[in-house]
Chains A and B, each alone.
Chain A
Amino acid sequence: MATETLTLGKALNTGLRKALENDPKVVIMGEDVGKLGGVFRITDGLQKDFGDQRVIDTPLAESGIIGTAVGLAIRGFRPVCEIQFDGFVYPAYDQIVSQVAKMHYRSQGKVTIPMVIRIPYGGGIGAVEHHSESPEAYFAHTAGLKVVTCANPQDAYVMIQQAIASDDPIVFLEPKRRYWEKGPVELDAPLDAAYPLHSSRVARAGTDATVLAYGPMVRTALDAATAAAEDGRELEVIDLRTLSPLDLTAAYESVKRTGRCVVVHEAPGNLGLGSEIAARITEECFYSLESPVLRVTGFDTPYPASRVEEEYLPDLDRVLDAVDRTFGW
C-alpha cells in the first residue's frame, strides 16, 4: 500500500487527478481552476495534464457555472464545479436548489445530475468579508442534494472521488483553514472501503461525553479531547462527514454510552445543523441522557471582521466549557 503524507489540499488535488484519469466524462470547471490551479491551488497542474476541455476556466458567473454544469450532466458528463469561496455561492443558489436538486425528481428518475459542487468554506484564515461563511444548512435543508465535508487528508482524498463517482448531486464542503494540515493518505484505498461516503466516523474513542463535529471543527474537537484527557475526562469525538443525509448511527450508540453530548459547528447556531442533531439525539437517546444536548456554534451575526474571528469561532475552550456544563447539570 502506498501511503504518503499530504496536506488536505494536496490530497484533494490527488483525488481529483485520479477521478479525471479514471473517467473521461469527469470535467472540472470554475473560475481560475485552469492555469492558476484555483485560488487555493486545489486544481493545480490538472489543466496542464488533462487539457482545457477537461479542466475548464469559466467566465466569472456562479449561476452560469452551475447552470451549464447541469446541461453537461444531462449530456452525460460528470461535472465538478468549483465555487471560489463560500460567500460567492449565493448567486448560484437558485440553480443549485431549484434545478440541480430537483431534476432527478422532476424527471421521475429519467435524468440524473451526477455533479459535485466544491466549496471552500469556513473561517479562520483572516479573510475579508464573504470569504469565511458556513452555508451548509441552506443546502442540507434542500431535498435532492447531498452535503458532505471532509476533515483530514485521507477523507479528502477518498471522499472527493466517492462524491464524483456518485450519481447524486453533492455539495462538497472543503474546510479551507485545514487545507495546509498534513496527514497520511493511503493512495490505493478502495473507494468503498471502511467509510462509504454517507457515513460518520469515530475520530477518537472515549467514555465520558460525546462531541459531534464536522469539517474544520473536527480538529478543534480532537484538540479539546486531548486537553480533557489531561484532566482525566475521556471524550468520544465523532466526525459526521456527511451532513445530508446525516449518519447518526455512531452518535446514538455513543451518547447512549456516555449520556452526554456536545455538538460543535462554525455556522451560526440558529437553525443550524446542531439544532437538527440535538433534536434527533434527544428523540433517540432521551432515556440515556444525563443532561441536555448542548451546542457550541458561531454566533447569530454575519461573519465578523477577521480581527475578532477567533472570538467568533468555536475553539478548544468553548468546547471544554460546554463539556463542563454537561457534567454540571
Chain B
Amino acid sequence: MAKGDPGVTTRSRRAAPRSKRAASAATGEPELVQLLTPEGERIESAFGPDGTEYRVDFTDEEYRGLYRDLVLVRKLDAEATALQRQGELGLWASLLGQEAAQVGSGRALRSQDMAFPTYREHGVLYCRGIDPIMPLGLFRGVDQGGWDPNEFKFNMYTIVIGAQTLHATGYAMGVHMDGRTGTEDGEAVIAYFGDGATSQGDVNEAFVWASVFNAPLVFFCQNNQYAISEPLERQTRVPLYQRAGGFGFPGVRVDGNDVLASYAVTRHALDNARLGQGPSLIEAYTYRMGAHTTSDDPTRYRIASEVEAWQAKDPIARMKAFLVNQQIADESFFTEVDEQARTESVHLRERVLNMPNPQPVTMFDHVYPHGSPELDEQRAQFTKYMESFEGSAH
C-alpha cells in the first residue's frame, strides 16, 4: 500500500475489517486493490504495493457489458451444476463466486493475448468468445474439450494442478523469441491457477523461468481460499502475492470479487508484459462459494458464517448496486439481462442433452499426428470386432 496517500489508506482501513475473518490468520491482512466496494461504492483509484495506481474509465455501455458478463457466466455455471446433479455431466467445477476475477481478467485480455486456464475458467473461456458448451463435453465425457486453442487463444483446460503455468511460460518465451514484445500491440500471456497450485513445484519452476527469461507473462492466481478441503494456511504462511518478490517480479493482491479492480490490475500487468517488462503475479483474493467440484461437500470443511461473510461481498450484487446508484442501468436492463441469461442457459441445457456420444472407434483418433502402425492395427481389429456384432452400425 502507498501509505503516504491518505485516501488510499482510508480505503484500506475500511476494507480490512470486513475481510478479516475470511483472511486466514496465517496469511495476514489482505491489502486489496479495490475499485468497487461490496456496497457498490466506486473508488476512483487504488494503489498496489509498489505504488502503482490503478483506475478504470469505462463508458456506461461497458459497465453494463461487464454486468451482463457476470450474470451470464454465473447462470451458465449454475446450469452446468444442475446438469451434473441430474446426472447429465460426470463432474462440474463451478466458478460460483469467482465471476469477477474471471470476467475482469478475461476482458482485460487483448485479442492477440494467449490464456492458459485450469479447469474452472469458464468465465474466461466465455470472454474469449468460445461457445460455452465447449467445456461441457469434457465434463459429460463425450469429448476432451472441443475448442481450438490457437484459434481462440485459449489453451485446453489443464487438470493436473499447476502444469499449465510452465506451458504458459514456454509460450511466453516463444512470444519474446518471435519478437512480439516491446510494443503497444505486442502479445502477452496469462496463466491461471489457484491457491493450492502455488505449492506445486511446477508453479515455482514457472516463476523461476518467467523471471530469468523476462517472459511476457501474467500469473493470475485465483485465491479462492480452499484447495478442495485444504484451507489457505495449509499452502502458505505468507500472502501469496508477496511470493513474487522472491522471484524478482512484482506481485499485487486484488479484490477478486471486484470486476473493475480485477480488470484494471490485469490490464496493467498485461500491458507491462507486452511492452517487454516481464512477468508479474496477481493474487485475486476471492472465495469459492460452491464446492471444489460437484464431488465434494464443503459443509464438511468450512463454516456457514464464513460463507455468509463472503456472500456479502458478492461480485454481482455490488456491480448491480453501483449501476443502480449511478443510474447507469434501470430495472428494464436487469430484467433483460436476466431474461437473456435464462434463455442462454435453457439453450445450453438443450444442446448438452443432445450432445451425441462419440463413435467408439474415434478413441483411436489423434493419438499421433501421423498415426502408428501398432495403433492402426488395433483400430482395424477393434473395428472388425465391433462389426462382428449382429446389427452393429459400427
> Hey, what's the 0/1 contact readout for B231-250 against A, CB within 8 Å counting as 1?
00000000000000000000
Instruction: Say whether A162 faces chain B, with CB atoms less than 8 Å apart.
Output: no
Determine whether the beta carbon of A167 is less than 8 Å from that of B370: yes
Chain B residue at smallest Cβ distance from A108: B366
> Hey, what's the 0/1 contact readout for B189-220 against A, CB within 8 Å counting as 1?
00000000000011001101100100000000
Determine whether the beta carbon of A59 is less than 8 Å from that of B373: no
Q: Pick the contact of B174: A71, A95, A143, A168 (CB < 8 A).
A: A71
Instruction: Say whether B146 faces chain A, with CB atoms less than 8 Å apart.
Output: yes
Q: Pick the contact of B173: A63, A68, A110, A168 (CB < 8 A).
A: A68
Determine whether the beta carbon of B368 is less than 8 Å from that of A146: yes
Determine whether the beta carbon of B170 is less than 8 Å from that of A69: yes
| A168 and B169 contact, Cβ closer than 8 Å, known pairs A72-B174, A75-B178, A111-B156 | no
Determine whether the beta carbon of B167 is less than 8 Å from that of A104: no
State how many residues of chain B have any CB contact under 8 Å with chain A: 43
Determine whether the beta carbon of A104 is less than 8 Å from that of B174: no
> Hey, what's the 0/1 contact readout for A64-93 against B, CB within 8 Å counting as 1?
101111111111110100000000000100
State A203–B21 Cα separation when bound (angstroms): 72
State A105–B366 Cα separation when bound (angstroms): 5
Chain A proximity of B213: nearest CB distance (Å): 8
State A63–B160 Cα separation when bound (angstroms): 13
The stretch that binds A, out of B32-40, B147-155, B279-287, is B147-155
Instruction: Say whether B143 faces chain A, with CB atoms less than 8 Å apart.
Output: yes
> Hey, what's the 0/1 contact readout for A103-134 against B, CB within 8 Å counting as 1?
11111111110000000000000000000000
Determine whether the beta carbon of B368 is less than 8 Å from that of A59: no
Chain A proximity of B33: nearest CB distance (Å): 28
Determine whether the beta carbon of A74 is less than 8 Å from that of B202: no
| A198 and B373 contact, Cβ closer than 8 Å, known pairs A71-B166, A74-B149, A95-B163 | yes
Instruction: Say whether B374 faces chain A, with CB atoms less than 8 Å apart.
Output: yes
Determine whether the beta carbon of A168 is less than 8 Å from that of B205: no
Listed by A's residue number, 21 A-B pairs whose Cβ atoms lie within 8 Å are: A61-B201, A64-B206, A64-B209, A67-B165, A67-B205, A70-B170, A71-B167, A71-B171, A75-B175, A76-B174, A79-B170, A95-B163, A104-B367, A104-B369, A105-B366, A107-B145, A108-B146, A109-B369, A110-B149, A168-B368, A168-B369
Since A64-B209, A68-B169, A77-B177 are in contact, a sample of 19 more A-B pairs with Cβ atoms closer than 8 Å, ordered by chain A residue number, is A59-B205, A61-B208, A64-B169, A67-B167, A67-B169, A68-B170, A71-B173, A75-B175, A76-B174, A91-B201, A95-B166, A99-B158, A104-B367, A104-B368, A105-B367, A106-B156, A108-B366, A109-B365, A111-B150
